Chain A
Amino acid sequence: MQLTQKHHEYWNRNLKVTAVLLALWFVVTFVMGYFARELNGITILGFPFGFYMSAQGSLIIYVVIIWYYAHYMNNLDKEYGVHEGEDE
């Protein structure tokens, strides 16, 4: 089993999207959590913003992160011909 240039490219793109989504996850969770006291000064739809992000906002972003990853990778599989045969 010899990996081709294309295979390495696939893996690098996977790493890249993983890193970007992980960074987003980190900012939403830890950076916003760290500044929750300050963010609470902003009010949106009746919610203090820092509270809202931790109670609900971040959760929505997590769901979107995972959806995007699945969507992106399933397309990437096809683009690089490493998808599983059964759903052709």
Chain B
Amino acid sequence: MAMTQSTAAFTKQLTKYYSFYTGGFIAFVIAVAILEQMGVPNKILGYIFLGFTILLYAGIGFMSKTAEVSEYYVAGRRVPAFFNGMATGADWMSAASFIGMAGTLYLSGYDGLAFVLGWTGGYCLVALFLAPYLRKFGQFTIPDFLGARFGGHIPRLIGVFAAIICSFTYVIAQIYGVGLITSRFTGLEFEIGVFVGLAGIMVCSFLGGMKAVTWTQVAQYIILIIAYMIPVVWLSLHHGFGPVPQVAYGYALQKVTDREKVLNDKATPDGAREESVRQIFRDRAAAADAKLKGLETGGPGFLAEQKKQLEDKAAALRAAEPVDAKAIAAAEKSVKDFPVDAAVAKKQWTADKGVAARAAPIKPHAQPFVGKDEKASDIARKNFLTLIFCLMVGTAALPHILMRYYTTPSVKDARQSVFWSLFFIFLLYFTAPCLAVLAKFDVYTVLVGSKFSELPAWVSAWATVDKTLMNISDINGDGIVQLAEIVIGGDLIVLATPEIAGLPYVITGLVAAGGLAAALSTADGLLLTIANAMSHDLYYKMIDPLASTTRRLAVSKGLLLVVAVVAAYVTSLKPGDILFLVGAAFSLAASSFFPALVCGVFWRRANKLGAILGMLGGLGICMYYMYMTYPFFGVNAPLWWDILPISAGIFGIPVGFIGVIIGTLISAPPSKEVQELVDHVRYPNLEGDIDTVGT
């Protein structure tokens, strides 16, 4: 009874605090807007935004400092369902969701929706299979559950290993995002941005562990959702689609679809202009292809001959009257840039041949599984569905998410908390497809067909800042923008929306702060997971079970610092492609954890040998397939059934389940105590129940 009142009072208090906080944040944004009107330069505004929000998180982190084990690991198990939902939302939505998602949808249309589906539908699995049971078990980490349920150190150790592998892969992608945002909006070097961002991450988690991370994540969720919504709603109003674009964008989609048809139809004037640009790309690709073939047959002789031709051309131009300085400079440049040997030539011409891709007709936005024939389309569908499956199962297996359900006061709250989690995630994911269509509408109808001499301000601004995000040039020289003359980087969509919608710079700063909040909150949760797996599972449970509370926390904080620095260092080396890193983390988690965790709850007979075989088998096959097929590792073995390496989990998950089943059936059933543990987690409350809550 007393407990209920204190929970209710606590919730009320939290609601009050966070309402004040939200109001204060909006007031801050307005104040910055006034500064902007007074003529403060954009760069200073960027500093103010990033500095202020990081200080804010540091303040919350400082206020939440703790010396209690259960507060440090699970926020004292008193986070109400609603707030845990917000914290999970921030924990969940990373830089990839906030900045990358709408861009992916813009670029790949329907096929990009695999991420939208995978990253939301996975919560059904969390709710149905794991959250309530883990909450009833109620210790500190996911390896804790494996250790108690399957007995002995080996399952726990494999759990620690898998938790570290998938969290580390994922955290690199986050810190990368932090570095990118910091460097873009403050002008610092990327490597310095990484470490500045890291300082921001550390101040949140170092003093107060999970307690501090939870309350900062709630604060970060509020910022990121405001930052995502304002520009989208504004863009929608700007184009006359009303204040609820999530519902009204069907109309924009229709217009985009009509426009796609016009631009793809050579018979229309707009389509003919597109076609002229595509023809130029096709010619360039054909020329590159011819040179590649010549190189293959002619070897170095062909290379020398080609160079000679360019030199002759430059000489002829120099001799010609009247002198055309521009043409001479261009010809001399092409001589100077001519590849020095066959290897360089091959690389350069292969890249040149790649412009053929820009000659392709526009892919209709709403059309699923676009392929050149039915077979290619079926392969695209297969990869779409397997990717969704891996992302969903991975969602229900990532330790930093599952851990959040240890922090609610009860099983009932854990169930409700999954609902709130998905609800808060849903708000952003429900909006991303709409933002992609609105941005496309703007580009297709406003930008395409405008004059190069009168480009919209945001286009020229981004084209000068970053060519990888916005690359636009008058290929066919007609002075009018064609779609085929624009190359857009996915991240541009979210970053440039405020400018496309004609909002002041302050909103751009707000979006940067939102992206930073998304990246920081996810990185926090992940770093804590890694440090806890090492300090709690490895050190306390396996090396020194008699360690004092002070010592446990000291080890934990020390490890947090070490892991963070290592992660930042690895990130500053810029490894691999972000989206692949993220996808890989999901496949790895899905293959290693999901089968063992689910069987641990739903199959009483599952035992230690089963868990060991299942986890090692799943993880092993998943890592093997990625290593063999992902180009980064250089093996490039043939794909199995055309499945892309990002979806390696589709092989790992079944192998994991088969491993659990075989291992279990060839060894003795688990002890009576373990069977009692299974009953314990299945019923929220049992008479004469055992107690497993960790302290």
Please list the residues of chain A having a beta carbon within 8 angstroms of any beta carbon in chain B: 1, 3, 7, 10-11, 14, 18, 21-22, 25, 28-30, 33-34, 36-37, 40, 45-48, 50-52, 54-56, 58-60, 62-63, 65-67, 69-70, 73-74, 77, 82-88
Contacts and interface: CB of A to CB of B under 8 A. Distances in A.
Interface centre among B116, B366, B416, B688 (most CB of A within 10 A): B366
Contacts of A59: 116-117, 120-121, 426, 429-430
The 6 A-B pairs of least Cβ separation, nearest first, read: A46-B250, A70-B415, A55-B433, A36-B368, A51-B366, A54-B113
Contacts of B682: 11, 14
Contacts of B1: 88
Interface in B197-252: 246, 250-251
A34 B690 CA distance: 46
B569 to A, nearest CB: 38
Contact of B251 (A40, A46, A48): A46
Interface centre among B127, B388, B409, B411 (most CB of A within 10 A): B127
B128 A21 contact: yes
A48 to B, nearest CB: 5
A18 B128 contact: yes
A83 B103 CA distance: 45
Interface in B662-695: 676, 679-680, 682-690
B90 to A, nearest CB: 18
A50 B368 contact: yes
Interface stretch (B52-60, B417-425, B554-562): B417-425
Given A29-B117, A48-B366, A56-B246, A83 B124 contact: no
B431 to A, nearest CB: 9
Interface string B177-202: 00000000000000000000000000
A55 B116 contact: yes
Nearest to A30: B385
7 contacts: A33-B117, A51-B113, A59-B116, A62-B422, A73-B415, A84-B685, A85-B685
Given A46-B253, A83-B685, A73 B132 contact: yes
Chain A contact residues: over half helix, strand or loop, or mixed?
Answer: helix
B110 interface: yes
Contacts of B7: 86
Contacts of B124: 21-22, 25, 62, 65-66
Interface of B: 1, 3-4, 7, 110, 113, 116-117, 120-121, 123-125, 127-129, 132, 246, 250-251, 253-254, 366-369, 377, 381, 384-385, 388-389, 392, 409-412, 415-416, 418-419, 422-423, 426, 429-430, 433, 676, 679-680, 682-690
Contacts of A66: 123-124, 127, 418-419, 422
Nearest to B436: A55
Nearest to B683: A82
A7 B683 contact: yes
A55 B245 CA distance: 13
A67 B433 CA distance: 23
Contacts of A22: 124, 128
Contacts of B110: 36, 50-51, 54
B250 A47 contact: yes
B117 A54 contact: yes
Contacts of A55: 113, 116, 433
B71 to A, nearest CB: 19
Given A33-B384, A51-B368, A83-B684, 8 more contacts: A14-B682, A40-B368, A46-B251, A54-B368, A56-B433, A60-B426, A82-B685, A84-B684
B412 A83 contact: yes
A39 to B, nearest CB: 9
A77 B14 CA distance: 28
Contacts of A48: 366
Nearest to B423: A63
Interface centre among B123, B246, B250, B679 (most CB of A within 10 A): B250
A3 B116 contact: no
Contacts of A37: 367-369, 377, 381
B127 A1 contact: no
A54 B418 CA distance: 21
Given A36-B368, A40-B367, A87-B4, A56 B385 contact: no
Given A25-B121, A73-B415, A84-B411, A63 B368 contact: no
A29 B415 CA distance: 22
A45 to B, nearest CB: 5
A45 B410 contact: no
B385 A33 contact: yes
Contacts of B689: 1
A31 to B, nearest CB: 10
B367 A58 contact: no
B254 A46 contact: yes
B411 A29 contact: no
Contacts of B116: 54-55, 59
Interface centre among A7, A25, A29, A58 (most CB of B within 10 A): A29
Nearest to A45: B250
Interface centre among B4, B113, B125 (most CB of A within 10 A): B113
A75 to B, nearest CB: 10
Interface centre among B368, B419, B676, B688 (most CB of A within 10 A): B368
Contacts of A60: 426, 430
A73 B127 CA distance: 11
A30 B384 CA distance: 10
Contacts of A73: 132, 415
Contacts of B254: 46
B676 A1 contact: yes
A45 B683 CA distance: 45
B422 A63 contact: yes
B419 A86 contact: no
Contacts of B685: 77, 82-85
Given A54-B117, A62-B124, A66-B123, A82 B686 contact: yes
Nearest to A7: B683
A49 B381 CA distance: 17
Nearest to A56: B430
B369 A77 contact: no
A70 B684 CA distance: 13
A87 B410 contact: yes
A1 B686 contact: yes
A77 B416 CA distance: 14
Interface centre among A10, A34, A67 (most CB of B within 10 A): A67
B419 A67 contact: yes
Contact of B128 (A29, A69, A88): A69
A48 B120 CA distance: 21
A4 to B, nearest CB: 9
Contacts of B430: 56, 59-60
A15 to B, nearest CB: 8
A86 B4 contact: yes
Given A1-B686, A36-B110, A54-B116, A69 B127 contact: yes
B415 A69 contact: yes
B296 to A, nearest CB: 40
A39 B368 CA distance: 10
